[in-house]
Structure 1
Amino acid sequence: MKKFDKLIAVVLSVYVLISLVLPILFQSINNEESSEYKVEINRIYLGLVKGSTFTEPNLSSYEYIKSVAFLPEISRPSNEELDKFYKSSNGMEYEIKPWYDGDNLLGYLRFNYINRKVHNSFLLKVELVLFMFAVSMISILLYIRNSILKPFNTLSEMPYELSKGNFKEDIKESKDRYFGKFIWGINILRESLDHHKVKELRLQKEKKLLLISISHDIQTPLNTIKLYAKAIAEEVYDTNEKKILAAKQIQEKSLEIESFVRELIKTSTEDVLDIEVVDGEFYLKDLMDKIVLTYKEKCNLKMIDFIVEDYNNKLVKGDLDRAFEVIGNILENAFKYGDGKEIKVSFYEEDYCQLIKIFNTGGIVSQNEFNHIFDSFYRASNSEGKQGNGLGLYICKGIMKKMDGEIFAECEKEGMSFTLVFR
């Protein structure tokens, strides 16, 4: 802001300086031009006085002198002739010089000329135009300062505050055409982050209570297993029937512990899929335009052939933003695990459903790994050394189900493909 204020001050200073310099500059031009017509008068006068009779001079080479008139001294001119001689012609200025032949006065020469002085009215017009220009420039700069830079400066601290977890400070909403919607979006983001923070704290509390409860529940069957295992190890049971009964008890308690673990895993993954999905509709073209705009340039930079085949624009069921998230996740996996040669998006229609198939070249996973690629926290052997948490495809599957759709994977000859089904 301070630098911009300095810019406004500089513009104002330049205007004041020019306003002061212009009159001086125009005055110097006037002085220069006022001496030029006198030079021409003297040149013509010297040419005329060399003779004793007046001859109309050729004025084609002169810039200022437009005509020369002669009033003889010998004759007695009438008042009408005198008025005509001394009267201004066509708004031109004139200068009168006496013509002598020795000591004898022959008459008077009148030189009509145009003096191209910059009049005060013209200078005033220039000053007025300059003033209007300066006012316009300063008004624009002040508008930029107050309507764009000042609100932006107010908002500049908000991302930093959000990064520190300060979600309580609200920003006053504005109808500003540039930042009104942005301020509204920042407030929505702040409220969303605050909501998720409260929700996260609640989930953490519930998880701790669940872990304490399950730990307590697991302890009982675990003690039973330890007891039977110790009895078997110390050969307390003298018959096979008793040993088999003990083994069945161990198996039963193991299944009980397994159910507790399954419940724990289910609870841990349910909050991962707590994603809001809008039950609506969107056009296929809107989705693909967004995909192409986001990933076309990225593929060009990575030198990957990004092919989007022709399709018919259809109205499909689902959430545009979540559908974009699903396809984006698959494309990011293609960048990460593919061989960087080709990504192709194809379109099909089947049983009143719109199918989008995303294929990328590269290595495929084993059959055993393929059976688990949609499981939570599962990462195949080709993910070693690559960032990730094994939740991407699991979340994609959950989102597609919430949109009443489906997602399928397929190992092909030259790579992997994922097919999304939209109603």
Structure 2
Amino acid sequence: MKKYNRLLAFSVILYVILAVLAGGIFLKAERTNDKEYKVEINRIRKSLSEEKNLDKLDLREYRYIKKVVYLEPDASEQRYEDFFQEKGRNQIEIMPAYKDGKAHGFLRFEYVSSKDDSMKGFLLMESALGILFISSLGVLLYLKYKLIAPFYRMSELPGELAKGHLKTEIKEEKSRFFGRFIWGISQLQDTLDVTRKRELDLMKQKKQLLLSLSHDIKTPLSTISLYAKALEKDVYHREEEKKHAAHQIGEKTLEIEKYVEEIMKASKDDVLDIPINMGEFYLADLVVKISATYREKCALRMVDFEIGPYENLLLRGDMDRLWEILENLFENAFKYGDGRRIKVEFYEEDYCQLIRVFNTGEPVSDNDFNHIFESFFRGTNSSGKQGNGLGLYICREIMHKMDGEIFAQKEEEGMSFVLVLR
């Protein structure tokens, strides 16, 4: 804000300096041009002294001289009086006329001074500068109070949310420019608050589950340990007792496996606790978002990016969750593709809208291809790359929740993933 105030002060100072400089230059030029009418008078006197008739004088050739009157030496007294006292709307200069090097009457020159035009031009210039300055200052002040100041007041909100201060009050701004921004920040605050509460609940449930399972697992483990030691020390002599001990070990092992499955199921349920808001959206809105987000990214990475033709159909689903899936597919294309080409195509089949995302690169192996949608699975091509093996698994589960489908295709030049929207 301080820098912006300095910009305002600099604008005022710059205008004052420019106005003074322009005025000085203009007035200096005016003083120079003020004597131009005398140059024209001298030219006329010279031409008349060369026996040029006054009647043949063409005043259209002169800018400042408007009229020339000659007074003969033998003119009457009344004529003399009228000659010297007559006044018009123009300025007058009377000079002696010469003929053959001798004074021979007088010449009266009526002229317009360049001062009048110069002053009008000066005032016009200063007025134009003033209007321009006031307009610029008005725009700068408008930006300050309608954009800069409200944004400055809101600049601390993201930092407060990042620190976990989710109860920070978000004041509504009168400026219409920040309506959607304020709404988005408020939505983000609510989402973070809900996520935090959900995370705390999940942590509590996990601790309770671990405590419960650790207690439940301890009993079968203790039984297995006792039977294993008895068999190791050859406590049982009869074959039936040994078989009974082995059977009990197997039973308790299955019991522990059941508890492990419960833990895995609880972990998957946590991952898949994704709310879906079913609604309707136009395909063009999704395409515009894809283009705006990834066209520039691909250009920066020198990747050939192409979006195929499509019909702007009305689709059913959760556009935000669909966008998450596309983000995952694009990031996988950047991560595992060869960086040559990414193409998005649209086509219809059996009353369904299909979206195909293709990227060039080496396809996955047949073994990996059969497991790419499984949870926590990472292919052989993921070595040295960040990830947790949940991306495509979550994509499939989201598509299923939207009554859709996702499947992969191996191609000669790379891999493609097809989303099916019903």
Q: Deviations over 1:77-126 (max 9, x none)?
A: 547x854774345x322112345899x98543211222221365554444
Does 1:240 find its partner at 2:239? yes
Residue 200 of structure 1 corresponds to 199
Does 1:117 find its partner at 2:124? no
Note the C-alpha offset of 1:396: 0.3
Closer, same or farther: CA 21–70 of 1 in aligned 2, 3 Å: same
Residue 15 of structure 2 corresponds to 15
- Code of the aligned partner of 1:134: F
Q: Deviations over 1:353-377 (max 9, x none)?
A: 2333434444444454434322222
Q: Percent identity?
A: 50
Residue 373 of structure 2 corresponds to 374
- Code of the aligned partner of 2:336: Y
Q: How many residue pairs are counted as aligned between the two chains?
A: 420
Note the C-alpha offset of 1:395: 0.9
Residue 95 of structure 1 corresponds to 93
Residue 151 of structure 1 corresponds to 150
Helix, strand or coil at the partner of 1:166:
coil
Residue 279 of structure 1 corresponds to 278
CA contact (8 A) 1:56 1:68 kept: no
CA contact (8 A) 2:318 2:402 kept: yes
Residue 254 of structure 1 corresponds to 253
Closer, same or farther: CA 128–416 of 1 in aligned 2, 3 Å: closer
Helix, strand or coil at the partner of 1:179:
helix
Note the C-alpha offset of 1:271: 2.0
The TM-score, its normalising length taken from structure 2, stands at 0.86
Counterpart Cα distance in 2 of 1:326 and 1:131: 57
- Code of the aligned partner of 2:17: L
Does 1:70 find its partner at 2:70? yes
Structure 1 window deviating more from structure 2 (368-377 vs 390-399): it is 368-377
Residue 334 of structure 1 corresponds to 333
The TM-score, its normalising length taken from structure 1, stands at 0.86
Residue 128 of structure 1 corresponds to 127
Closer, same or farther: CA 406–58 of 1 in aligned 2, 3 Å: same
Counterpart Cα distance in 2 of 1:209 and 1:334: 40
CA contact (8 A) 1:73 1:105 kept: no
Note the C-alpha offset of 1:388: 0.5
- Code of the aligned partner of 2:86: K
Note the C-alpha offset of 1:140: 0.9
Note the C-alpha offset of 1:172: 0.9
- Code of the aligned partner of 1:96: I
Helix, strand or coil at the partner of 1:336:
helix
Residue 170 of structure 1 corresponds to 169
Closer, same or farther: CA 302–101 of 1 in aligned 2, 3 Å: closer
Structure 1 window deviating more from structure 2 (23-32 vs 244-253): it is 23-32
Closer, same or farther: CA 28–194 of 1 in aligned 2, 3 Å: same
Residue 422 of structure 1 corresponds to 421
Structure 1 window deviating more from structure 2 (106-115 vs 212-221): it is 106-115
Q: Deviations over 1:156-201 (max 9, x none)?
A: 3332333322322223111313222212212221222232223212
- Code of the aligned partner of 2:35: S
Structure 1 window deviating more from structure 2 (282-291 vs 117-126): it is 117-126
Counterpart Cα distance in 2 of 1:160 and 1:411: 45
Closer, same or farther: CA 6–258 of 1 in aligned 2, 3 Å: same
Counterpart Cα distance in 1 of 2:36 and 2:304: 76
Helix, strand or coil at the partner of 2:277:
coil
